[in-house]
């Protein structure tokens, strides 16, 4: 596990500098200062040697593996702005991991190094309006057509997290085949100011803590030179697996921190509040909610660490990350929902941080694969494994 001193240092940074501004602005990153806030908080993390703890050491990161990331990311996740402060926010965190494993030396210098240093943000442009790529990435419709010296990208993307103000995009585009084909996708790197790339609007969503929003954007003959192809041509879906499993688990880490904070706030509340002749914490129904929260948090952590150990050992961990993500998405939502209930009217107010955590954690059951898609995948594997053995 990560060094206790490192975890303590992250916890201190979050308590002293991040939670106060988070709570003051109810988790609304734009109201709290947006990009200026990111730069200020990351400067503090940099001074304390905490910036980009998962980044490669040769570029200034701390090089933490998946198991070691878990308690560090959870400590940061106690604040909705904590991941941003440490440069471990989605999608940057997953893009650092992907670039570290796939990028060429020149791509590392141009794209990965400034991302690790916190000089720029990044976005991963895959999701498209129906009938394009979404939970089923093979429906990819954005195209990259070969031309002299590179590729011309055309298509529409939406719900692209962090797109507004990003420094560069990792674009998933179809270079062969037709929508529905299991192959034929390629990842391409492009700076935001490249001609033909347009961030058109923010799609208003219930969450407010993600810097750069969730955007609708278009690519119109955007040129990407051959040297900015990330990985192999037509190998994009395969390379996406490098990012996918770890990104699922780092989401679990961060949201575990937020859910744990909501739980602790609620337990502290019922331990002090008296009603019906006793503390609320002494009532059986309240004790059941507290116990169920403890169980969900412990089970989430156990499944998370099992998947992280498999990833650290070099496995794809497709099944274990699907199981952990599905369980965590629902279990952590239950934890926060119970916390709201335990706090009563305060639980739906700005007086406590519980309501904003409930608002922000709900989308976790949808992004990085809805629970239903993961269940479908888990069931298919089980049928192959069990029926095939018979």
End position of a domain, from candidates 173, 201, 234:
234
Q: What percent of the chain has pLDDT over 90?
A: 96
Band of pLDDT at residue 104, cut at 50, 70 and 90: very high
Residue corresponding to tokens 């790197």: 189
Query: Can you give the CATH number for the domain in which 193 is found?
Result: 2.40.110.10
- Strand 122-125 relative to strand 197-202, pairing: unpaired
Assess whether 247 and 229 both reside in one domain: no
Tokens of 285: 């129904």
Q: Which residues contact 103 (CB under 8 A, 6 or more apart)?
A: 111, 112, 230
Assess whether 59 and 148 both reside in one domain: no
> Stretch 17-26: mean pLDDT, rounded?
98
What pLDDT does 389 receive? Answer: 72
- 144-186 pLDDT, tens digit each: 999 999 999 999 999 999 999 999 999 999 999 999 999 999 9
What range defines the domain where residue 77 resides? 4-116
- Strand 122-125 relative to strand 168-174, pairing: parallel
Query: Can you give the CATH number for the domain in which 338 is found?
Result: 1.20.140.10
Say if residues 211 and 35 touch (Cβ distance below 8 Å).
yes
Q: How far apart are CA 387 and CA 390, in angstroms?
A: 5
Band of pLDDT at residue 276, cut at 50, 70 and 90: confident
Say if residues 68 and 76 touch (Cβ distance below 8 Å).
no
Residue corresponding to tokens 């995009």: 169
Assess whether 208 and 277 both reside in one domain: no
Assess whether 208 and 69 both reside in one domain: no
Per the omega criterion (within 30 degrees of 0), is the bond before 133 cis? Answer: no
End position of a domain, from candidates 85, 116, 147:
116
> Stretch 307-330: mean pLDDT, rounded?
97
What pLDDT does 1 receive? Answer: 47
Band of pLDDT at residue 31, cut at 50, 70 and 90: very high
Query: Can you give the CATH number for the domain in which 68 is found?
Result: 1.10.540.10
Q: How far apart are CA 308 and CA 289, in angstroms?
A: 28
End position of a domain, from candidates 116, 131, 152:
116
Say if residues 249 and 304 touch (Cβ distance below 8 Å).
yes
Listed residue (171, 275, 168, 286) closest to 219, CA to CA: 171
Tally Cβ neighbours within 10 Å of residue 105. Answer: 7
- 39-74 pLDDT, tens digit each: 999 999 999 999 999 999 999 999 999 999 999 999
Assess whether 245 and 384 both reside in one domain: yes
- Strand 197-202 relative to strand 150-161, pairing: unpaired
Structurally, the chain folds into a number of domains equal to 3
Tokens of 35: 């990009």
- 204-235 pLDDT, tens digit each: 999 999 999 999 999 999 999 999 999 999 99
What pLDDT does 38 receive? Answer: 98
Distance of CA 347 to the CA centre of its chain: 25
């Amino acid at each position: 596990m990560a060094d206790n001193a490192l975890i303590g240092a992250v916890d201190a940074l979050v308590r002293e500098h991040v939670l106060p501004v988070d709570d003051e602005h109810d988790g609304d990153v734009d109201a709290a200062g947006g990009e200026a806030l990111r730069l200020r908080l990351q400067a503090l993390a940099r001074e304390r040697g905490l910036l980009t703890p998962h980044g490669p050491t040769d570029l200034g990161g701390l090089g933490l593996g998946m198991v070691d990331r878990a308690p560090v990311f959870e400590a940061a996740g106690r604040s909705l702005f904590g991941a941003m402060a440490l440069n471990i926010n989605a999608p940057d965190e997953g893009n650092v991991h992907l670039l570290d494993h796939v990028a060429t030396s020149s791509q590392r210098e141009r794209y990965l190094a400034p991302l690790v240093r916190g000089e720029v943000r990044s976005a991963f442009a895959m999701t498209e309006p129906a009938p394009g790529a979404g939970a089923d990435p093979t429906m990819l419709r954005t195209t990259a057509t070969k031309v002299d010296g590179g590729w011309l990208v055309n298509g529409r993307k939406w719900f692209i997290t962090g797109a507004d103000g990003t420094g560069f995009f990792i674009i998933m585009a179809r270079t062969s085949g037709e929508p529905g084909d299991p192959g034929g996708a390629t990842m391409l790197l492009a700076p935001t100011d490249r001609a033909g790339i347009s961030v058109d609007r923010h799609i208003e969503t219930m969450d407010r803590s993600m810097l750069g929003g969730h955007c609708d954007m278009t690519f119109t003959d955007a040129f990407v030179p051959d040297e900015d192809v990330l990985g192999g041509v037509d190998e994009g879906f395969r390379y996406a697996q490098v990012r996918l499993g770890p990104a699922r688990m780092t989401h679990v880490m961060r949201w575990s921190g937020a859910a744990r904070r909501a739980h602790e706030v609620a337990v502290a509340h019922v331990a002090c509040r008296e009603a019906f002749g006793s503390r609320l914490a002494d009532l059986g129904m309240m004790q059941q909610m507290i116990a169920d929260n403890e169980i969900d948090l412990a089970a989430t952590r156990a499944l998370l660490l099992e998947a992280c150990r498999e990833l650290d050992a070099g496995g794809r961990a497709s099944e274990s990350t699907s199981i952990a993500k599905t369980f965590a998405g629902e279990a952590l939502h239950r934890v926060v929902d119970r916390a709201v209930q335990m706090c009563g009217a305060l639980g739906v107010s700005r007086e406590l941080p519980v309501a904003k955590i409930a608002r922000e954690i709900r989308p976790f059951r949808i992004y990085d694969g809805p629970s239903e898609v993961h269940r479908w995948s888990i069931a298919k594997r089980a049928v192959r494994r069990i029926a095939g053995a018979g």
